Structure 1
Amino acid sequence: MSVVHQLLPGWLLDHLSFINKINYQLYQHPKPCCNKNESASSVHLDCLQKDSASSFGASATLIAPDSITKPENEDSRNCELPPKKYVFRSELFNVTKPYITPAVHNKCQQSNEKEDLLNGVKKEISSSIIGKKRKRCVVFNQGELDAMEYHTKIRELILDGSLKLIQEGLKSGFLYPLFENQDKCNEPITLPLDTCNLSGLCEMAKHLPSMNEMELQTLQLREDDMTVTEQDLFSRVVENNSSFTKMITLMGQKYLLPPKCSFLLSDISCIQPLLNCRKTFDVIVIDPPWQNKSVKRSNRYSYLSPLQIKQIPIPKLAAPNCLVVTWVTNRQKHLRFIKEELYPSWSVEIIAEWHWVKITSSGEFVFPLDSPHKKPYEGLILGRIGEQTTLPLRNTDTKVLPIPDHKLIVSVPCILHSHKPPLAEVLKDYIKPDGKCLEMFARNLQPGWTSWGNEVLKFQHVDYFVALKSGC
């Protein structure tokens, strides 16, 4: 269970536990054979040209059949290999200290105040020398003032609710105090190299020859070995309906596909295969690539304009009474856009506003709560589309109560950028039994969910996992 504690304020989640409870068990061939031409089966990134669609002609290899044929004679049994189990790297959740400690935060504030004071004195001297009146400098712009007002409204909710959940986590031992010697023993974490630029590949895939309507049907991975072309991966919804993990090799990089998952690897301009499936979803979770100054400076990922986000075909993907959940940054401009423009354009009625609070393994906020720059929380706006209907609760004959407002999801964040905590167990009581779930702009896969995005396989890269030794 990813839910460690559930109290009136919300939930304390264990993100790592949620990932590792997935059956990432890879079955290997009884008689592995070496193919000299295997290395040539995947296309290297440096071979790709935007004007050369033929560079995608090679195939992506699918590894790990759903079942293994038992050998007929006893001698061949010696060739059997035990299944290989993978777990997510625990050090990627090793957040033991705040990113900015309160002491450093206060010191920076004092330093800034001294600098502002010094600058003010310099300006006064300069003004007196020139003999001209200078306009009073505005310390905060309107966006910052709006953010401060919003923070004042929710501050007590965040503080009181988080403390209750953190106290329960400390009592149960899920959270634990940080000892000085323990912190010194922490070694720097080496992150896997992003050697396969998935978003770049999606851009290049636009130059592939178009496929006819029959070819655009969902691609279901069979139990036996099969070959999947890059053209299939970039133009069709891929499903792993088996009960076991499969591994695909794309452009020389290996990715783990959990059981009972489906995905489409594409950007917003090539989302049509998802619509061609003619499926509608009872839950749609959206994590838009919001535009901000940090993204512009770092060029970490491409962002969408508000107009582009409004063009996402949510009404075509949503089932009646669909629950729509949108992640939003603390920028008030984005929050107002969702409430005043985005949801009305999708016919989504807002019903709740939740917050994800990020803490360390010892229960501290990752940023000072009152930091003027970065806050230790992010928002989620929940709404339902279309006509409100009454849904049965799971395994009961009672009716679903309205989704509660102002709930908190408290967890230790992954150090990987934009690896959000799972919402499956938090939302399960607010959707109908066996509801279909879709995550948009996803960077990982979940069993029972359909995932879409131009980096949908990013955190499924095998380098983010560790293979356990046999018997573990």
Structure 2
Amino acid sequence: MSVVHQLSSGWLLDHLAFINNIDYQLCQHEPTSGNTVHISSPRCGSSNATSTSSIELSAKSMTSEPATKPGINERKRNEALLQKYTFRTELFHVTKPYVTMADCMEFQQGNKIEAQQDGSIKLEKQKHIKGKDSISAVRKKGKRVIPFNQGELDAMEYHTKIRGLILDGTTQLVQEGLKSGFLYSVSEKLDNGNKAITMGLDNCGLAELCDMAKQLSLVNENELDTVQLIEADISVPEQDVFSRITQNSSNFTKMIILMGEKYLLPPKSSFLLSDLSCMQPLLNYGKKYDVIVIDPPWPNKSVKRSKRYNYLSSWQIKQIPVPELAAPNCLVVTWVTNRQKHLQFVKDELYPYWSVETLTEWHWVKITRCGEFVFPLDSPHKKPYEGLVLGRIQGKTVLPLRNPEMKVLPIPDHKLIVSVPCTLHSHKPPLTEVLKDYIMPDAECLELFARNLQPGWTSWGNEVLKFQHIDYFITPEIRN
């Protein structure tokens, strides 16, 4: 379970536990015994195989040999074939805030900010120089008036409105986390700060592979299966993952090799690696989804400067075929940044364009392992929370409701999802367990612009396998 505590204000999540509860186990080697006929083992073979049937079938296959049961050493060798993978713990090692209140105070002391009645601020920047006698001399104060733009004024108004909800709800959940031992107090810190993690995986090139796919020869869709099933750990051609859904339909984890890189596929997961121009295989898949989670690549100045990823314009985001993918009464959840422009676009333009009725907003609050906000709550630069806009598909449809006799709870207002964030950029917390009370038990779920896979979900994006790369995992034990 990723939910550590649930209160009326929301949930305290353990993102790392959610990943590791997927139970990534792979078959690493063939049995070495010449007297044993290989039967697919759990986590590496047929979904119909179990650990019990595997042993029984192995014994039956030896009936023509002397009537002896497999020895203890042989059984241990077979069991040791199951290699367990866990996500790197250090990627959730956030023990102190990224920016502290002291940092904000230092900024404010060096820059005297005075609000004006006309919506502008007077900035008096203090400058220092060193004289020949090494004594600091104060220069004349430079004064300039900087007006707030409308977006900044809207952001301040919005923050004022939800500040109390964020503070009170997070405080309650953090207190529960401290009591249970999931979080620990500042005095119990094991080190002096966050560990710097350098994975060196930014050049996996999944987005570049999508661009490359456009240069490949066109495939006749009539001659291509809609889905390619992964039945064993294999190397897959690039064309296959671009042009059709890749599906691990078994109950066990699989590994694929793409462009020489290894990726782990959770059980019961499906994905399409493509960009917005190549979504037809997802439409051809034929599924209608009861839940669609969207994490659009929103444009902002930081992204434009760093060129971390390609962003989409508002017009391009509206072209995502959500109405064609959605089942009746589909729950649509869209991640938004703290820019009010994006929030208003989703509520006033995007959702009406898709025939989605806005229901409410939730908030993801990022904390350290000690329960502190990763940014000061009132930081003028970045806030320690992000938003989610929840809505439902409206309008007439020829498709019937899935399980119409079953009722789900109404979506509550302004719930908090509190968690220690992953240090990997844009690795969002899982929503599977927090949404379960508001969707059908057999709901079909889709994530758009995904960077990782989940059991029971279909995932799409041009970096959809990014966080499934085997280097994000370690092998702490061999099961035996």
Distance 1:373 1:158 in 2: 17
Letter in 1 for 2:332: V
The aligned residue for residue 30 of structure 2 is 30
Structure with the bigger percentage of strand: 2
Instruction: Report matched runs for 1:191-210 at 5 Å.
Output: 191-210=199-218
Distance 1:280 1:390 in 2: 11
Letter in 2 for 1:14: D
Distance 1:278 1:398 in 2: 24
The aligned residue for residue 106 of structure 1 is 105
TM-score by structure 2 length? 0.83
2:298 to 256, 277, 290: 290
The aligned residue for residue 467 of structure 2 is 459
Kindly indicate whether the alpha-carbon contact (under 8 Å) linking 2:351 and 2:358 is maintained by their aligned counterparts in 1: yes
Kindly indicate whether the alpha-carbon contact (under 8 Å) linking 2:93 and 2:195 is maintained by their aligned counterparts in 1: no
The change in CA–CA distance for 1:155 and 1:446 in structure 2 (over 3 A counts) is: same
Letter in 1 for 2:328: P
The aligned residue for residue 321 of structure 2 is 313
Distance 1:160 1:89 in 2: 32
The aligned residue for residue 17 of structure 1 is 17
Q: What's the secondary structure of 1:4's corresponding residue? A: strand
Is 1:173 the counterpart of 2:181 in the alignment? yes
Kindly indicate whether the alpha-carbon contact (under 8 Å) linking 2:95 and 2:194 is maintained by their aligned counterparts in 1: no
The change in CA–CA distance for 1:206 and 1:408 in structure 2 (over 3 A counts) is: same
The offset of 1:103, in angstroms, is 1.3
TM-score by structure 1 length? 0.85
Is 1:353 the counterpart of 2:352 in the alignment? no
Distance 2:233 2:370 in 1: 46
Q: Deviations over 1:236-281 (max 9, x none)?
A: 1100001111111111111000100000000111111000112110
Kindly indicate whether the alpha-carbon contact (under 8 Å) linking 2:230 and 2:246 is maintained by their aligned counterparts in 1: no
Is 1:250 the counterpart of 2:249 in the alignment? no
Kindly indicate whether the alpha-carbon contact (under 8 Å) linking 1:218 and 1:239 is maintained by their aligned counterparts in 2: no
Kindly indicate whether the alpha-carbon contact (under 8 Å) linking 1:391 and 1:431 is maintained by their aligned counterparts in 2: no
2:124 to 110, 116, 121: 116
The change in CA–CA distance for 1:222 and 1:305 in structure 2 (over 3 A counts) is: closer
The change in CA–CA distance for 1:139 and 1:112 in structure 2 (over 3 A counts) is: farther
Kindly indicate whether the alpha-carbon contact (under 8 Å) linking 1:89 and 1:464 is maintained by their aligned counterparts in 2: yes
The offset of 1:195, in angstroms, is 3.5
The aligned residue for residue 154 of structure 1 is 162
The offset of 1:187, in angstroms, is 4.8
Q: Deviations over 1:302-361 (max 9, x none)?
A: 000000000000000000000000000000111111111100000000001000000001
The aligned residue for residue 84 of structure 1 is 83
Is 1:141 the counterpart of 2:149 in the alignment? yes
Unaligned runs of at least 5 residues, structure 1: 33-62, 125-135
Distance 1:181 1:360 in 2: 11
The aligned residue for residue 55 of structure 1 is none
2:392 to 360, 371, 384: 384
Distance 1:287 1:406 in 2: 19
The aligned residue for residue 404 of structure 1 is 412
The offset of 1:464, in angstroms, is 0.4
The change in CA–CA distance for 1:31 and 1:440 in structure 2 (over 3 A counts) is: same
The offset of 1:82, in angstroms, is 1.8
The offset of 1:180, in angstroms, is 7.1
The aligned residue for residue 211 of structure 1 is 219
The offset of 1:65, in angstroms, is 3.9
Is 1:183 the counterpart of 2:182 in the alignment? no
Range that drifts further, 65-74 or 400-409:
65-74
1:231 to 233, 239, 251: 239
1:434 to 431, 442, 445: 442
Kindly indicate whether the alpha-carbon contact (under 8 Å) linking 1:391 and 1:399 is maintained by their aligned counterparts in 2: no
The change in CA–CA distance for 1:185 and 1:311 in structure 2 (over 3 A counts) is: closer
The change in CA–CA distance for 1:22 and 1:181 in structure 2 (over 3 A counts) is: closer
Q: What's the secondary structure of 1:144's corresponding residue? A: helix
The offset of 1:365, in angstroms, is 0.2
The offset of 1:108, in angstroms, is 1.4
Letter in 2 for 1:268: L
Q: What's the secondary structure of 1:234's corresponding residue? A: helix
The change in CA–CA distance for 1:385 and 1:234 in structure 2 (over 3 A counts) is: same
Distance 2:28 2:414 in 1: 47
Please provide the CA RMSD for this pair.
2.6
Kindly indicate whether the alpha-carbon contact (under 8 Å) linking 2:294 and 2:448 is maintained by their aligned counterparts in 1: yes
The offset of 1:139, in angstroms, is 3.8
Distance 1:329 1:357 in 2: 12
Distance 1:174 1:453 in 2: 33
The offset of 1:423, in angstroms, is 0.1
The total of aligned residue pairs comes to 428
Q: What's the secondary structure of 2:341's corresponding residue? A: helix
